[in-house]
Structure 1
Amino acid sequence: MQKTILIVVLLLCYGARGQEIIILDEEDHQPLANVIVYNVDKSKTALSDFDGVCNLSQFDDNERITFRHIGYQLARATKENVVKKGMLYMVHNAEQLDEVIMSISKWEQQRKDIPQKIAVINAPSIAFAAPQTSADLLNNSGKVFVQKSQLGGGSPMIRGFATNRLLISIDGVRMNNAIFRSGNVQNIISLDPFTVRSTEVIFGPGSVIYGSDAIGGVMNFYTKKPQFSQRDSLYISGNANYRFAAANNENTLHVDFNLGKKKWAFLSSLSYNHFGDLRMGSNGPKSYLRDMYVVTKNGEDLIEQSKNAKIQHPTGYEQINLMQKIAYKPNNNWNVDLGLFYSETSDFARFDRLIRPSKDGEGLRSAEWYYGPQKWFMGNLQFYQNGIRKFYDGLKITAAYQNFKESRSDRGFQDITMYTTQENVDALSVNVDFENKRMGNFRLYYGSEFVYNNIGSQGSKLNLVENRILPSASRYPDGSTWQTLAGYISGELKAKPNFTLSSGLRYSHVWIDADFDNNFYAFPFQNADLSTGALTGSLGFSWFPKTDLQLTLNGSTGFRAPNIDDIGKIFDSEPGAVVVPNADLEPEYAYNIEMGIQKNFKNRTTFKGAAFYTYLVDALVRRDYQFNGEIEIDYNGEMSRVQAVQNAAMAYVYGFEFGADVFLTEKLSLVSNLTVTKGEEEEDDGSHSPGRHVAPIFGDIHMVWKNYKLKTDLFVNYNGRISHGDMAFSEKKKTYIYAQDANGNPYSPSWYTLNLRSQYQIAPSLKVMLHLENITDQRYRSYSSGIVAPGINLILGAGFAF
């Protein structure tokens, strides 16, 4: 009798287990928790657990059931069919208005309540595009323009602003430091794209939350989190990836490993990249070819003709990225997260400086010009508390330390002296952020921030004949400091179910202390002691006059306080010009207004549009200057025109951004983006010149087909032309990076590329990819870039999850 009962129990258990299915995201095959399952009259319901597992035993075999999850299309099937497969894949909605956004307030907000334009790039999209660097990650979105001076770089442009007028944030910590320059920066490549789980790009000023530098936009990178175990047993998972790209012989290896208990979780990540010299395309301007370069033989510089002029030598480099995350959850009200990041590159050439012609136009100006190893370390400790308290419901305390190391070395052709500057920046920051959501339909966010930067800078010159190193002028005042203290408050009021009002204020104060070394230059001042502040604000609304129509309007201000790069830098900005310090600077200030519209047609087609206008006053720009009454001084052995950063201009930028997401069938969709930007800045004589960082018209059109195993994307990228008359004055001088029009003047030609990406899921744990980029082998150079883009490029990759 007991044996019979045992058999019956086992059969019942087996039968119940046979009623279970797993529900997965159709793009990344990750389990979906909290999927609601119900029958026609909703008399029976079920819910998927953390692992995406859902028990359907209460439903009849022929009963038609519905699967619902926020942000996904409804899925319907009979129980019998879905149980046979054992799994169900759910597809994202055309536009996820219920998507949660972190960037605007540093707390979770629904996207539909936010008046600013935000682009979200999620982990599946990043994995499918397989970017080489985080700069390429942004470029692949089709919404951010990226300039490249060399292969080891990438400088985003957003709404006519770039470099130190854009802010980069990683897990809530600002990466911008006191030596971020107005010229192109490559710090963004320090972040490993394999570790990014989501990127949120704010278009327009974000100074209320992020302070100085957030004039044109904010790029927030959120890295992957350690996963806790939902059971008593140890949870183990991980990923291994390999990627090869033919255009620069890239070889990339990545591995990450997760260990999770109920209260502790650990995530370790390692990536290694090897990039060779980049090959350009075959069809385009001949002036882009790398037909000669400098070699040094027996201590003598010689011009050598290139055997293959499409190979851009030298551009290759190596990089390693490490990440360690530790998470501790003592109870439901507290979380403690520690993130450790380290990135290091090899030396890499600044390619645009190596192709500058000599004064006679017959040779090359530089024999060597390279950045030393770019090193970045960040330790980020965050405490998070939730639960009802007297003045808040959520508290975040973020303390971070970063260290940046970089150097520059350059030597003129047949010059026996190599000039080197080395920089070391220590950056400390503390953020305290509060959330209060207990006041009915009003949510309040407030907090404070303190940032401190200490800059170390050394200069030297190496005599190659005597092999002797002597001190030289440093790039920045050694031992200088930059610090800011700020407080902010912002609120979100849901005045009606279809109308949300948002506003905020922030006051930031900035201090600079820099002592100048007169051993090499007779500065007309001994130090720069700056103390300045700025008040910024925002006001906007999101309105749904109909459930499928959204209108937004937002006004905001932004500012950028002078940093050490503005006040204390000495460097050669261009052939025959040198930038010198200027201690008399004030913050630049931006006023911005933007309007947006979004229309959803039956949850299958979404059209989006935004128009913006930004006015910048007291703009910090490089202009001709006098140093001790002289308009020219000797710099590294050459008489050079004196320039300095000054509050000498105003500028304005305006434009339009369009997007469309169309689900043609359940498997076929169309995605398109278009950005049009125009802008001008004031020159010394009162005339106006096109803005230097105003990108050409750019956009893309994607045709995407996918099922639960295969995803393919056939797409076109395109950039418009910038004629000679529409180029910034400073760009016209860079004749060596531009094509020539019929009149022999430099200009930036239009271009397009045809591309194909594909990814196949061989098994739930194994996927492979094959991409073919620039199929027609176009030879093109993105606007203001020193390096020519890749020609036809075969990319192969594989990923294994365990």
Structure 2
Amino acid sequence: MKILSTTFLILCALRLQAQTALVTGKVTAEGKPVPYASVVIKGASLGGSTDAEGKFQIKNAPEGSRVLLISAIGYQKQEVKVDLKAGTNNISNIVLDGEGSQLNEVTVTGSSRAVELRRNPVSVAVMSKKMMDQNTNTNLIDAVVKGVPGVSAVTTGPNISKPFIRGLGYNRVLTLYDGLRQEGQQWGDEHGIEIDQYGIGRAEVVKGPASLIYGSDAVAGVINLIPAKPEYQDGKMSGDVALDYQGNNGLLGSSLGFSFRKTDWKYSFRATSKQAHNYTNRIDGFVYGTAYKEYNFSASARVDKPWGSSKIAATIYDNRQEIPDGSRDSLSRRFTKQVLDAGDDITNRPIVPNSRLNNYSIAALHQRIQHYRVYSTSEFKVKDGTINLMLGGQQSVRREYNHPTVTSQPGLYVVLNTLNYDLKYNLAPIHGIESTIGSNGMYQHNSSRNGTDFPIPDHQLFDAGAYLFAKRTMGKFDVSGGVRYDNRNISWNDFYVGTNPQTGFGQKVNAGTAGADLQFPAFSNRYTGISGSVGATYNINERLLLKANISRGYRAPNITEVGSNGLDPGAHIVYLGNRNFNPEFNLQQDVGVMAYLKDADISLEVFNNQIDNFIYQSRLTDANGDPVVIVPGNLTYQYQQSAARLYGGELTVNLHPTKMPWLNFNNSVALVIGLNKNQQLLDRYGDQAKYLPFIPPLHARSEIKLTAPKRMIGLNKPFFKVEADMYDAQTRFYALDDTETFAAGYTLINMAVGGTFKNKAGKGLCDLLLQAQNMFDVAYQSNLNRLKYFEYYRASPTGYTGIYNMGRNIGLKAIFYF
């Protein structure tokens, strides 16, 4: 009987084995493997996930007609019917669709861990590398402005753009590079973001207070610029070369990137060069003082192990940027240049020769911005949770050369050193609740070196905060929120300034030096704040949802707002701070409706933002209402503090009809209204002080894109697009003391054609783009263009005052892959 029983069990096992199958396959998207995708046999409770190469296998699968359900974060779900037989069943390449709809788009910004866009109650927008590559951009922030409604930029020429989110900018917008705070004298007007635009693969924008995760300086939102992820191949080197030319200012851009993988280790490197001469428009001709040369280098090494992963990376940024001041001959309106320090007469400067306007050499009066960054990120698996640690060090060196008689002597020379940390523990779900405990902060030391102008004192800053964040899905509701406490200390010692007897310029001196002036008396203060957020998403169905969120943000005053007392030569402004300022707090309500339909993506988001202790700049006037002049030829601004309110919203309608896959019709409109709640100013000056400064006008954008479904003239899916970029007149501006003036509306027409060359195996060899920005050479002045106010005369013989934005710009971009 034992022999018979054993024989029977063996036969049953053999028969059971004969009725099962092994399923193997590979999941890809856009020709690249999709790691960690879920592959499940519906109704069988069997499945697995893809590895780093996108490959999967499912053992002991039942025979017969089955359905595989494939899903991955960031891609649309797909079902594949298969007929499984005993033995190995290899499924031909499974391709997921990540284009068209943002239904399953995933973000890592504004939340404690990766989350689908549709499940996040906070307003988040995403811009991919593909979107950036299919546009001609003069700098990285302008690329984000074009792709994300509600984002604008204060500009000082084509390479200097300060990001604003829903009417708020400077230290209210926190810029991240790969999750690390970007620290580089954000208070300054006259330099941009120190990041290589060719090395960014993705931009994620949080619109609204994000202080909960990031602390002070994120009351307006966050822009996270994420480096591009190379296509690693084990044992092989791969990479790309980008070449960029723009005709208006002769921009020459080139970038080389390559990557290499050896088992668990991945390496990448990128080097970029950009240079341009002065830009031109049909009103001003060549705009003197807008040429630049920029260099970037970056490198990283990453290791992936069963315990988690770790990466170390470094970047170098070096930019020589001319300093425009807008001085002109009063009759011919040709630009003039400063040649004297003492005795300079702005109305009697020599005219800049034409030969100097369109060459690539940098003028003696310029600024040099250097930024160095080293950081590491690690993720450690702890049971069912993870611990994430980021450590970073940065140095920002800023010099402004503004002495024409001693060109090697910088007027402003400041060095900012920053140490950052970010630690968080993502706990395992408890009763369906995903929670994170975290802490982050920084230490800063800013010092003046061999300069002659000192707008801010040498100071130290220590910042630390801790937070708790949680989220849970309850049926059709996704709920998330948390609370945070922050502490910031700012301090400096007595700072004395004297006169260099040899040059006559200012210099930093000791307290006992003869003639020493105490420009910055010692100061120390501690700022604290509690911020929080709670919101929910209601999934009416798979493609229609409602969002609501309320957030309280916190921002400590920055160094210029509390400590400034001097000339910033690059901005041509004397800044005066206020030591008695309190931290800003804002309470913002967001409501949105999103529809990810078969033929369209539609979203409507509205917000209301109430700010207490809002800090802003205003021209300083005397008792008679006349402007106060402390340094001749320079404006004087004093920081103010009052209540404020901003409200508005964004509407996006992107049409991609399934019956016409070659057509995309994308439309957006954004509106922000900023109200000054300073009742004393309102009672005295009325409508002149009604609105806040730096508020963008109504902005609408429409784009029609036609993509050929087949190869044409050797190009894979060539496309043609035409875009209308429309700005309404800005009549709601801060008019007190002519701080801002009326800006007329305008419409810019942009066109582009491009496509990809691929080899027989389907691998991309080269992307080409030919684009014309401002096709009809419209003469316009953006209300956020600082050069609009660079004018020294009350009237102009031509009827045009200030400097105009860039005219027609035709560009050619090529990206070669190897």
Category of TM-score, reference length = shorter chain: 0.7 to 0.9
Taking structure 1 as reference, are residues 712 and 77 closer, same or farther at Cα in structure 2, changes over 3 Å only? farther
> Per-residue CA shift, 1:175-213, capped at 9, x if unaligned?
145x421x635331x211222122110001111111111
Deviation at 1:624, TM superposition (A): 6.4
Corresponding residue number in structure 2 for 1:645: 639
2-structure distance, mates of 1:516, 1:268? 44
Corresponding residue number in structure 1 for 2:110: 104
1:775 and 1:792 in contact (8 A); partners too: yes
2-structure distance, mates of 1:159, 1:153? 19
Q: Does 1:666 align with 2:672?
A: no
Corresponding residue number in structure 1 for 2:770: 771
TM alignment of 1:580-729, pairs within 5 A: 580-601=576-597, 603-623=598-618, 635-636=630-631, 638=632, 643-646=637-640, 648-664=641-657, 665-682=660-677, 685-686=681-682, 687=686, 688-706=689-707, 707=709, 709-723=716-730, 725-729=731-735
2:489 and 2:527 in contact (8 A); partners too: yes
Q: Does 1:509 align with 2:503?
A: no
Corresponding residue number in structure 1 for 2:355: none
Structure 2 residue aligned with 1:354, among 282, 305, 326? Answer: 326
2-structure distance, mates of 1:205, 1:545? 26
Structure 1 residue aligned with 2:225, among 221, 227, 234? Answer: 221
1-structure distance, mates of 2:266, 2:440? 28
Deviation at 1:671, TM superposition (A): 1.8
2:42 and 2:69 in contact (8 A); partners too: no
Structure 2 residue aligned with 1:526, among 516, 521, 526? Answer: 521
Using the TM superposition, name which of 440-449 and 707-716 deviates more. 707-716
Letter in 2 for 1:167: L
1:128 and 1:759 in contact (8 A); partners too: no
Q: Does 1:138 align with 2:144?
A: yes
1-structure distance, mates of 2:416, 2:50? 48
Deviation at 1:783, TM superposition (A): 2.3
Q: Does 1:783 align with 2:783?
A: yes
> Per-residue CA shift, 1:24-56, capped at 9, x if unaligned?
534xx4344567899999999999764467999
Taking structure 1 as reference, are residues 53 and 604 closer, same or farther at Cα in structure 2, changes over 3 Å only? farther
Secondary structure in structure 2 of the residue aligned to 1:784: coil
Deviation at 1:450, TM superposition (A): 2.4
Corresponding residue number in structure 1 for 2:126: 120
Corresponding residue number in structure 1 for 2:295: 320
1:459 and 1:473 in contact (8 A); partners too: no
Corresponding residue number in structure 2 for 1:204: 208
Taking structure 1 as reference, are residues 360 and 734 closer, same or farther at Cα in structure 2, changes over 3 Å only? farther
Secondary structure in structure 1 of the residue aligned to 2:368: coil
Deviation at 1:506, TM superposition (A): 0.9
> Per-residue CA shift, 1:403-450, capped at 9, x if unaligned?
0011223369x9999871111100111111111132132111121112
Corresponding residue number in structure 1 for 2:177: 170
Deviation at 1:253, TM superposition (A): 1.4
Secondary structure in structure 1 of the residue aligned to 2:189: coil
2-structure distance, mates of 1:320, 1:574? 21
- Give the % identical residues: 17
Taking structure 1 as reference, are residues 666 and 576 closer, same or farther at Cα in structure 2, changes over 3 Å only? closer
Structure 2 residue aligned with 1:160, among 133, 144, 167? Answer: 167
RMSD: 4.0
Secondary structure in structure 2 of the residue aligned to 1:125: helix
Corresponding residue number in structure 2 for 1:386: 381
Structure 2 residue aligned with 1:547, among 536, 542, 546? Answer: 542
Corresponding residue number in structure 2 for 1:30: 32
Corresponding residue number in structure 1 for 2:748: 752
Taking structure 1 as reference, are residues 124 and 149 closer, same or farther at Cα in structure 2, changes over 3 Å only? same
TM alignment of 1:11-90, pairs within 5 A: 25-26=29-30, 29-33=31-35, 50-51=52-53, 69-70=71-72, 71-72=74-75
Q: Does 1:490 align with 2:506?
A: no
Q: Does 1:187 align with 2:198?
A: no
Corresponding residue number in structure 2 for 1:344: 318
2:777 and 2:807 in contact (8 A); partners too: yes
Secondary structure in structure 1 of the residue aligned to 2:147: coil
Q: Does 1:259 align with 2:260?
A: yes
Letter in 2 for 1:563: N
1:157 and 1:163 in contact (8 A); partners too: yes
1:93 and 1:604 in contact (8 A); partners too: no
Deviation at 1:100, TM superposition (A): 2.1
Letter in 2 for 1:262: T
TM alignment of 1:407-556, pairs within 5 A: 407-410=399-402, 420-458=411-449, 460=451, 472-478=452-458, 480-494=459-473, 496-520=474-498, 522-523=517-518, 526-556=521-551
> Per-residue CA shift, 1:112-137, capped at 9, x if unaligned?
22111111112222222353421122
1-structure distance, mates of 2:681, 2:484? 35
2:279 and 2:291 in contact (8 A); partners too: yes
Any stretches of 5+ residues in structure 1 without a counterpart? 1-18, 57-62, 80-85, 283-288, 291-308, 461-471, 736-745
Using the TM superposition, name which of 541-550 and 579-588 deviates more. 579-588
> Per-residue CA shift, 1:486-529, capped at 9, x if unaligned?
111111121x2310111111111111112242334855862111
Deviation at 1:756, TM superposition (A): 2.0
Q: With structure 2 as the length reference, what TM-score do the two structures score?
A: 0.77
Deviation at 1:257, TM superposition (A): 1.4
Using the TM superposition, name which of 362-371 and 686-695 deviates more. 362-371
TM alignment of 1:2-17, pairs within 5 A: none
Q: With structure 1 as the length reference, what TM-score do the two structures score?
A: 0.79
Taking structure 1 as reference, are residues 438 and 78 closer, same or farther at Cα in structure 2, changes over 3 Å only? closer
2-structure distance, mates of 1:72, 1:522? 63
Q: Does 1:335 align with 2:313?
A: no
2-structure distance, mates of 1:655, 1:499? 26
Letter in 2 for 1:240: V
Secondary structure in structure 2 of the residue aligned to 1:666: coil
Secondary structure in structure 2 of the residue aligned to 1:594: strand
Letter in 2 for 1:669: N
Deviation at 1:312, TM superposition (A): 2.3
Secondary structure in structure 1 of the residue aligned to 2:578: coil
Letter in 2 for 1:275: A
Corresponding residue number in structure 1 for 2:798: none
Secondary structure in structure 2 of the residue aligned to 1:354: coil
Letter in 2 for 1:448: S
Using the TM superposition, name which of 709-718 and 437-446 deviates more. 709-718
Deviation at 1:149, TM superposition (A): 0.9
Deviation at 1:622, TM superposition (A): 2.9
2:401 and 2:407 in contact (8 A); partners too: no
Deviation at 1:369, TM superposition (A): 9.3
1:335 and 1:385 in contact (8 A); partners too: yes
Deviation at 1:607, TM superposition (A): 0.9
Deviation at 1:632, TM superposition (A): 9.0
Letter in 2 for 1:399: L
1-structure distance, mates of 2:131, 2:664? 15
2-structure distance, mates of 1:362, 1:278? 14
> Per-residue CA shift, 1:328-353, capped at 9, x if unaligned?
23x2122111010111112x2233x2
2-structure distance, mates of 1:759, 1:711? 4
